Structure 1
Amino acid sequence: MSWFHGRPNEIPFSFYGWEHWFAWVIFILIVSVLYIYRHWMRSKDLRKVEIVVALSLIGMEGLYHLWLFFIGSWDLRYSLPLELSSISVILAVLLLLFRKRIIYELLFFVGIAGALQALLTPVLTYGFPHFRYVHFFYTHMMVIWVALYFTWVVGYRPTIRSVFKSLIFLNILLPIVWFTNSWAGGNYMFLQTKPESPNLLDFLGPHPWYIISLEIVALVLFLLLWLLFRERSMTR
C-alpha cells in the first residue's frame, strides 16, 4: 500500500514537475468541457450527478482523515477542517446538496481564490500516485469545478454584494481560527506563520502584516472574479 503510506521521501512531489503540470492539464481540460458543453448540460437533469460528486467529496475527506490516523499524524493542531481548502470543500458539498445561492456566493469567491492559489503553489510533499496527491488535487480542483458548474450550467451569478458577503465571512472566520490556533497550538490558515514551501505569502511581508496584505489581495481577487463572471460579461 505504498500509495497510502506516510513516507513522502518514497513518492516525493516535484514542484512544477511533470505531475504538477499533469494536474493542471486535467484541471484546464475539465474547465474547458464545462464551458464548451454548458448549453448541452443545461438541458439535462444532472441532480444525481451533483449528489454523487458531493458524496465523492465527503468520501475523499473521510479517507483523508482515515489516512492521517493510519500514519499516526491526526492532530488537533493541523487536522481540523479549518483551512480555507477544507472550508471550501464543505461549502462545495453543501452547495451540491442544497443549491443555496448564499453558499454559491461564498464558494465562488472564497473557494476559487483559495483553490487557485493552492494549485499554483501546492503545500504538498507527496507525489503521484500517492493518496495525498490525489486528495489534494481532486478536492481543490473540484471546488473550482463546482463553482464554475453552478455559474455556467445552473445559471447562478456573483454580484458585487456577494464580494462583500465573502469578505465578511472570511473576517468572521479569522478570530475563530486564531482562537483555535492559540488553544491547540496550530497554524490554521497560516495565521501564526508562513508555510515553508514557496507561496503567495512570501510576497506579502512578515508576520503579522501579511494577514492585512491578504485582506487587500482577497478584495482585489474577488473584484476581478466578479468582473469576469458577472451577469453581463457572460453569454447565457
Structure 2
Amino acid sequence: MNNPPFVTYSTSHIVAICLFIFVIILLYFTKSRWSHAKKIVYVERMFAVLLFGTELGYHILYYLNGKWDLVYSLPIELCSFALLASIILLWTGNKHVFDFVFFAGIAGALQAILTPVLDYGFPHYRFFHFFFTHIGIMLTAFYFMWIKGYVPTFKGVIKTMIILNILLPFVIFINHMVEGNYMFLSYKPATNSLLDVLGPYPWYIFSLEAVAFVMFVILWVLFRKWRVE
C-alpha cells in the first residue's frame, strides 16, 4: 500500500477544497434540472450505495492490509454517524434524519474538510475516501434542502443536540474500552484543529458543545428561508 503523508493545505488538499466548492455551486445552479429529473429516487439510492460502498471499501482495505484496529477504525466518529444518516436519508427521504444530516453533517464535514485529521495523502485510497464521504454528506444535506424542499428548523437544532448528547456517553464508553479517541473525547488531535482554542481536556468538550450549538443556530438562520423555486 502506497502511504504518502497528508499535508494540510498542500496542493492536493487545496484541490479537494476547490472541488468541494465547485460541486456545491454546481448543485445550486442546476437545482431546477434535478428537481424535474425523472426517476430521481434511483439517483438518490445509487449515491447512497456509492457512499456505503466507499466506506465499506475503506474498512475492507484496511483489514486486508492489517491496519484495521479497534482503537481508531470503528465508524463512531461524528462524521461516521452523519454518513450513516446521509445514506438513510438518501434511501428513505426521512425528514427527521434530515435534521441530523443538515446540522451535524454540515458542521462536522466542513470542519473535517478544512482541517483534516488524516494520515495519508493523495493518491492513497484513504485520501479519496475521506474527501468523497465528507463532501457527500454536505451534498446530501444541500440536495435535500435545495431540490427536495426540506427546510432546517430550530426544532431540528434541538433534536440534533439531544442526539449528540445521547451519543456522547456511548462513544466515551467505547473510548474507555478500547483506549481510543473517537470524536476526540479522550484528548485533542495532534494536528491543528478548532479544539486548540477551546481549552484543556476535559473542558474543551463542554466548549465544543457550545460551539456546536452556535454553529447549528447559524446554519438555521442562514438557510431556514430556503425553498424550492
Please state which band the TM-score falls in when normalised by the shorter chain: over 0.9
Equivalent residue number for residue 46 of structure 2: 52
**1:21-36 equivalent positions in 2, closer than 5 A:** 21-36=14-29
Q: Supply the distance in 1 between the matched residues of 2:9 and 2:143 (Cα, whole angstroms).
A: 27
Equivalent residue number for residue 220 of structure 1: 214
Q: Give the drift of 1:178.
A: 0.6
Q: Supply the distance in 1 between the matched residues of 2:28 and 2:56 (Cα, whole angstroms).
A: 30
Q: Scaled by the length of structure 1, what TM-score is found? A: 0.94
User: Which of the residues 58, 67, 90 maps onto 2:61?
Assistant: 67
Letter paired with 2:15? F
Q: Give the drift of 1:75.
A: 1.5
Q: Supply the distance in 2 between the matched residues of 1:124 and 1:184 (Cα, whole angstroms).
A: 20
Equivalent residue number for residue 33 of structure 2: 40
Partner deviation per Cα, 1:129-176 (whole Å, 9 max, x = no partner): 110100000000000000000000011010010000000010000001
Q: Supply the distance in 1 between the matched residues of 2:200 and 2:10 (Cα, whole angstroms).
A: 29
Q: Supply the distance in 2 between the matched residues of 1:98 and 1:235 (Cα, whole angstroms).
A: 19
Task: Give yes or no for contact 2:161–2:213 (8 Å, CA) kept in 1.
Answer: yes
Q: Once the two structures are aligned, what percentage of the paired residues are identical? A: 46
Q: Supply the distance in 2 between the matched residues of 1:74 and 1:99 (Cα, whole angstroms).
A: 32
Q: Does 2:163 align with 1:172?
A: no
Equivalent residue number for residue 118 of structure 2: 124
Q: Supply the distance in 2 between the matched residues of 1:235 and 1:71 (Cα, whole angstroms).
A: 46
Letter paired with 2:76? L
User: Does 120-129 or 101-110 show the bigger shift?
Assistant: 120-129
Q: Scaled by the length of structure 2, what TM-score is found? A: 0.97
Q: Supply the distance in 2 between the matched residues of 1:121 and 1:228 (Cα, whole angstroms).
A: 23
Task: Give yes or no for contact 2:71–2:181 (8 Å, CA) kept in 1.
Answer: yes
Q: Supply the distance in 2 between the matched residues of 1:13 and 1:191 (Cα, whole angstroms).
A: 23
Equivalent residue number for residue 190 of structure 2: 196
After superposition, the Cα gap between the structure-2 partners of 1:66 and 1:235, relative to the gap in structure 1 and judged at 3 Å, is closer
Q: Does 2:101 align with 1:107?
A: yes
Partner of 1:154, secondary structure, is: coil
Partner of 2:147, secondary structure, is: helix
Partner of 1:40, secondary structure, is: helix
Task: Give yes or no for contact 2:78–2:183 (8 Å, CA) kept in 1.
Answer: yes
Equivalent residue number for residue 19 of structure 1: 12
Q: Give the drift of 1:234.
A: 5.0
Q: Give the drift of 1:70.
A: 2.2
Partner deviation per Cα, 1:30-49 (whole Å, 9 max, x = no partner): 10111111112111131111
Q: Supply the distance in 2 between the matched residues of 1:178 and 1:97 (Cα, whole angstroms).
A: 30
Q: Where does structure 1 lack aligned partners over 5 or more consecutive residues?
A: none
Partner of 1:207, secondary structure, is: coil
Task: Give yes or no for contact 2:51–2:133 (8 Å, CA) kept in 1.
Answer: yes
Q: Where does structure 2 lack aligned partners over 5 or more consecutive residues?
A: none
Task: Give yes or no for contact 2:148–2:228 (8 Å, CA) kept in 1.
Answer: no
